[in-house]
Amino acid sequence: MFPMKLSAEEQAMLAGDSGPGVRKAMEIVVTLGRIYGARRLVSVGSVQVAGVSYRNLGEAGLEFLREWAGQGARVRVPTTLNPAGMDLHAWRELGFSETFAHRQLAVIEAYRRLGVRTTCTCTPYLVGNVPRRGEHIAWAESSAVSYANSVLGARTNREGGPGALAAAIIGRTAAYGLHLDENRRATLRVVVRCPVRTLSDFGALGYLVGKAARNRVPYFVGLEEACSESALKALGAAMAASGAVALYHVAGVTPEADRPDVLAPDHETLVIDDLRPAYAALNSDVRKIDLVWFGCPHADLEEIAEIVRLLAGRQVKSALWITTAREVREKAETEGLVTAIEAGGGRVVADMCVVVAPMQELSFRTLATPSAKGAAYVPSHAGLQVRYGTVEQCVEAAVTGVWPGCEATPHSRI
């Protein structure tokens, strides 16, 4: 293992010249770098921090943040924040307890003291944190990492929460993994031989490939005509959930796919000719739907507008939530989309993610979603039974209260 070379400024920060908070951040980043064999640090243009919901952090995590802020630590590069466990403004209306809300708001305040922009979204690229191609960043949200590396061509590893925050405080991260050219080559060629049309199809494809790829870099062939940004977002989020894929390439679509050496010489090939195994794995057999959830990753304006179009003025029988960034919600409100959703009985919910929310405080037992990432995580994280399908199927489930195609029989599960 080669020794890590630090600049004079970096050595001074590690020695504590900039205070104990900066020293702690340097110790974290340098230790991670040494573990992974990094030879130097690189400056980062932005950071996305995960570890926001009080349900995940608990009191120990909150005190860790408070202590770090109390040591004088402040971020020195633009830093955005992952979703919280509730809508920071409308938590009462959604049914979350005052006890949880009080602690969650304390977490947000701790991040604010550290200088973090409390965006509370998993889609920082929708609220101004848009890195350039080739720019080094330190992002911790798995779906955002995938999008930044693959769609935007930025460079980040899949950071942990403390490591990302440490990088924000010193403005640097360790140069290993996907920061290096040689590790961005594809090691798994994926040949797609079945139709992939809907967002849920892209999620299903991602679910299957993620399980096979684990942490390898896939290169997709056969998707050239079908890839919108929303489709790529769904594909990457699913691979990050079922596996640990942080970078993928799509022939003719993503920015690094045209590299002459994009495929590593020792790459393997995976053929996908049927998406049905993914749909089977992500679906339970529940009939009655309590909550229909869109926005995992957080919805953009076009996705919200599509749900408005499909609702077509109808009233919902199930609860309908669209989770999104607060900035996106404000734009949707200006365009009349929030009013249209609310007129049908739904909600456009900001700041939160169902996966990290204390859903046990609410009365929901079943959920429908077009998100493969959400469908993969919700049963274990939120304790709900899931139906997974297209946006159209999910809207119909919200309107009728049951999953489309389910007949009421004596053996139907509720």
Q: What is the pLDDT of residues 268-324, one digit of tens each?
A: 999 999 999 999 999 999 999 999 999 999 999 999 999 999 999 999 999 999 999
Dihedral sign of CA atoms 242, 145, 157, 48 in order:
negative
CB 85 within 8 A of CB 359: no
Q: Kindly state the average pLDDT of the residues 106-130.
A: 98
Choose one of 181, 211, 241: the last residue of a domain. Answer: 181
Cα separation values, 60 from 22, 81, 155, 381, Å: 20, 19, 31, 20
The contacts of residue 116 (CB under 8 Å, 6+ apart) are 49, 75, 79, 80, 81, 165, 168
Say how many CA atoms lie within 13 Å of 219 toward its Cβ.
22
Write the burial class of residue 244 (CB in 10 Å: 0-12 exposed, 13-18 middle, 19+ buried): middle
Percent of residues, the chain, with pLDDT higher than 90: 96
Inform me whether the pLDDT recorded for 235 exceeds 50. Answer: yes
Inform me whether the pLDDT recorded for 2 exceeds 90. Answer: no
Inform me whether the pLDDT recorded for 225 exceeds 80. Answer: no
Residues 104 and 22 in one domain: yes
* DSSP label of 222: S
Token reading at 231? 């489709």
Choose one of 181, 215, 238: the last residue of a domain. Answer: 181
Choose one of 160, 181, 202: the last residue of a domain. Answer: 181
301-311 and 391-400 are packed helices; what angle lies between their axes, rounded to 10 degrees? Answer: 50
Residues 162 and 245 in one domain: no
Residue 407 domain flag: no
Residues 249 and 304 in one domain: no
Task: Count the domains in the chain.
Answer: 3
> 148-157 in b/e burial notation, b at 16+ Cβ within 10 A?
bbbbbbbbbb
Give the per-residue pLDDT at 224: 80
Give the per-residue pLDDT at 226: 76
Residue 166 domain flag: yes
Give the per-residue pLDDT at 413: 40
Give the per-residue pLDDT at 412: 39
Residues 270 and 331 in one domain: no
User: Rounded mean pLDDT of the chain?
Assistant: 96
Residues 104 and 152 in one domain: yes
Q: What is the pLDDT of residues 365-408, one digit of tens each?
A: 999 999 999 999 999 999 999 999 999 999 999 999 999 988 55
Give the per-residue pLDDT at 316: 99
Residues 227 and 261 in one domain: yes
Write the burial class of residue 97 (CB in 10 Å: 0-12 exposed, 13-18 middle, 19+ buried): middle
Which residue range(s) make up the domain with 371?
Answer: 283-400
Residue 414 domain flag: no
Inform me whether the pLDDT recorded for 10 exceeds 50. Answer: yes
